[in-house]
Amino acid sequence: MPLRAAFKIEGLRGGPSRRKLGPGRSRAGGASRQRSGSGVTPGDRVQEVYRRENRRVFATLVRLLGDFDLAEDALQSAFLAASERWPQQGVPRNPVAWLVSAGRFRAIDSLRRQRRMTPWSEAAEAAAGIADEASVYEELEDVEDDRLRLIFTCCHPSLSEEAAIAMTLREICGLSTEAIARGFLIAPTTLAQRIVRAKSKIRDARIPYEVPDRDALPARLGRVLRVIYLVFNEGHSAAQGADLMRPDLTAEAIRLARLLADLIPDPEVRGLLALLLLQDSRRRARTTASGDLVPLEAQDRTLWDRAAIAEGVSLVRQALGVHGFGSYALQAAIAAVHAEAPSSEATDWAEIVGLYDALLHREPSPVIALNRAVAVAMRDGPEAGLALIEPLLTPELLGGYHLAHAAKAELLRRAGHCDAAKSAYEASLGLARQDPEKRFLRARLAEISD
């Protein structure tokens, strides 16, 4: 079951270390130290690096240590060491490499203590298997690719698709178990058990942390694309909270898609990268300065990123020009039509409906049907769209999906059915979890009530 909508409706939501890591000692961190300035303290920098880089450090620690739980403990130990040392010694020139090195040393110390207590334990084997110091510093040059390696590991075909996606979103992207469980419509405890079993399978089967060779790529590519897409989706329209967007996640998803596109000359990889670029190109125009949502038709298109649009459109043409393109390329084509239109009124809605027809044929989904219905309404009028949306609002389909009720409400408003629109907006508001969306829906209700 999809974690999030296949295509958003824009506006509606279209222990201490044995080795000192101070100045001049750590090749990973470098001899240079960044002193605080402009009121930013080293403690602030620890928090900033944690927010921005903790999953990047984690992915490298998983590769070096070969175990998710050991890597998580090492990650926390590394940031604890940073919070103690950086205020006295200054921030390292390369904070990520410093943290990876610190985490690895602490993991080795922990395993060696276990080995002294239980000489023939698995801990002894694990400690012996961790790369030596020289190789660690050589491998730190590859930190940038570690999250991609970890995604391929999590998407191994021996794991169920739901477990693979859930584990990737939790371990690589740092989403909470509760947030992921809501997307899968299951209990958090059930999801947590699936993630634990998946980790155990990776460990027990000794699945390597690597990007597979070309012969093994096809078996995992679909899942990897889906995971990158879901990461972007969470950043593009966060599942809940005070902010509409999480630019750190969208940037990470685009970076991973670029790495994948360089690795695999596949039309769907290009299509995915194009889709992410085109969707992200509207970021600056999607909210006001106060964080309120701006619908697509009301966005200032001069704020759209024209360089990202040009790159995205070029990638769409490349993807559609060869055999083997699929749903990501088609979604990117839809986004390209929007991106190239000078206004909502001048958008080629007939072409968008045709693209949705092709997408729905290839990937039948009530969410895609909903988006198609909105496009039909833009082409043929709100009543035509309402006739297509109403059958989707059943408990088995989109009855619990707030964007479906929001789409219905918007079309009812445009058609002049204010009382029915008010009821639909209230239904959507009761299901919405994101603060900017709630404010948008309340504003619409206020307009109708005035």
Q: What is the mean pLDDT of the chain?
A: 82
Q: Are 293 and 439 in contact (CB under 8 A)?
A: yes
Q: Are 382 and 20 in contact (CB under 8 A)?
A: no
pLDDT of residue 25: 35
pLDDT range class, residue 302, cuts 50, 70, 90: very high
pLDDT of residue 30: 43
Is 2's pLDDT higher than 50? no
User: How far is 413 from 447, CA to CA, in rounded Å?
Assistant: 10
- What tokens does 348 get? 């080629």
Q: What is the pLDDT of residues 257-297, one digit of tens each?
A: 998 898 788 999 999 999 999 999 999 999 998 888 899 99
User: How far is 272 from 221, CA to CA, in rounded Å?
Assistant: 12
Q: Give percent of the chain with pLDDT exceeding 70.
A: 82
pLDDT of residue 10: 35
Q: Are 151 and 228 in contact (CB under 8 A)?
A: yes
> Average pLDDT in the 35-53 region?
75
Helices 42-65 & 161-171, crossing angle to 10 degrees?
Answer: 150
pLDDT of residue 137: 41
Q: Where are the domains positioned within the chain?
A: 33-128, 142-264
User: How far is 445 from 144, CA to CA, in rounded Å?
Assistant: 47
Q: Of 210-224, 340-354, 430-444, which range is least confident? A: 210-224
Task: Identify the architecture of domain 33-128 in CATH.
Answer: Orthogonal Bundle (1.10)
pLDDT of residue 17: 35
User: How far is 202 from 406, CA to CA, in rounded Å?
Assistant: 42
Contacts of 137 (CB under 8 A, 6+ apart): 27, 28, 101
Chain mean position to CA 5: 13
Residue 110's CB is within 10 A of a number of other CB atoms, namely 18
pLDDT range class, residue 177, cuts 50, 70, 90: confident
> Average pLDDT in the 25-39 region?
44
Is 369's pLDDT higher than 90? yes
Q: Are 162 and 184 in contact (CB under 8 A)?
A: yes
Contacts of 214 (CB under 8 A, 6+ apart): none
Please tell me what DSSP assigns to residue 34.
E
> Average pLDDT in the 192-217 region?
84
pLDDT of residue 117: 53
pLDDT of residue 260: 87
Q: What is the pLDDT of residues 62-117, one digit of tens each?
A: 888 888 889 999 999 999 999 999 998 888 888 998 999 999 988 988 887 776 55
pLDDT range class, residue 26, cuts 50, 70, 90: very low
Query: Can you give the three-state secondary structure of 99-139, one letter per residue?
Result: HHHHHHHHHHHHHHHHHHHCCCCHHHHHHHHCCCHHHHHHH
pLDDT of residue 134: 39
pLDDT range class, residue 171, cuts 50, 70, 90: confident
pLDDT of residue 353: 98
Nearest to 331 by CA among 3, 4, 7, 1: 7
pLDDT range class, residue 160, cuts 50, 70, 90: confident
The residue among 428 and 26 whose pLDDT is bigger is: 428
User: How far is 438 from 441, CA to CA, in rounded Å?
Assistant: 5
> Average pLDDT in the 327-352 region?
96
Q: Of 284-293, 357-366, 394-403, which range is least confident? A: 284-293
